[in-house]
Amino acid sequence: MNIAVLGIGLMGAPMARRLIAAGYQVTLWNRTAAKAEALAGPGVRIALMPADAVRDADLTITMLENGPVVEAVVAAIGDALKPGSLLVDMSSIPPDTARAHYETLGARGIAAIDAPVSGGPSGAEAGTLAIMAGGDEEAVERARPVLVHLGRVTRVGPPGTGQLSKLCNQLIVGAAIGAVSEALILAEKGGADPAKVREALSGGFADSKILAIHGQRMLDRSFIPGGAASVHLKDMVTIQAAARGNGLDLPLASLIHRLFEDLCRNGEGAKDHSALFRQIAREAGAEDLI
């Protein structure tokens, strides 16, 4: 099977490395060519244009920055994709955009599924990503033998629902970051050792990856980006749009959206999304903890 991977960034690069290691013939394209060229080797072809990358591909994976970028790339490759081939978009984009790609490409005899992921760069390196797949069952099963090299695949429903699941993921993650931030601020201002509070909570009902990983980042005041706050803000905007489209008003999502918006407005959008701690500390009257 020939595979094309479009987007060789923080997530796309380790994902591509895993597919190369699994023995697939892989063609790589990235807007900044040097990132793709860094993976050059046996079984790897580097394409200068996205359409060139997909011409011989049985399966194309896109892992791109946002919805508009995905739309532009899908438009650029549409005529080059082989009839009968499969497009797997693993970017995080609006559900409506994913459904539009399914319809447009399907009319040309090309199957499409939306399969965004959770787990970050470390999960991509380890092949332990949570992959949320939306699309026809037959198409998801066709992609599964490839995707299992990247993580655990769960079909969650028809086209667009993979992206909807990713929004659910981001809502939970954002709310958990906010809750951990407030808890550690309360602990420190109340006179407890916040590191020991985090340790005490480990293994209990409040334990989570957010407490373990992002809680440590908050304690260290180290917010080197894994997932940038600006990207999480983009997801919160999409969550709000999806809620309105389904006749919902989600109060917690609205609060988290506003906090990320203010964090980015304060010039901290390039920091890790766990830097929400800093915005919450400001609003809690705990600026001395920033």
Nearest to 268 by CA among 238, 217, 214, 231: 231
Matching residue, tokens 């915005």: 279
Distance CA 135, CA 99 (A): 9
Q: How many CB atoms lie within 10 A of CB 212?
A: 13
232 within 8 A of 260, measured Cβ to Cβ? yes
Helix 229-245 × helix 161-189 angle, to 10°? 120
Options 35, 82, 166, 271, the catalytic residue: 166
The tokens describing 8, both together, are 């060789």
166 as an active site residue: the answer is: yes
Q: Would you state the structure tokens that stand for residue 167, as one six-digit string?
A: 């929004």
Listed in sequence order, the residues at least 6 apart from 78 whose beta carbon sits closer than 8 Å to its beta carbon are: 104, 105, 108
Amino acid, single-letter form, for residue 67? G
Could you give the residue numbers annotated as active site? 166
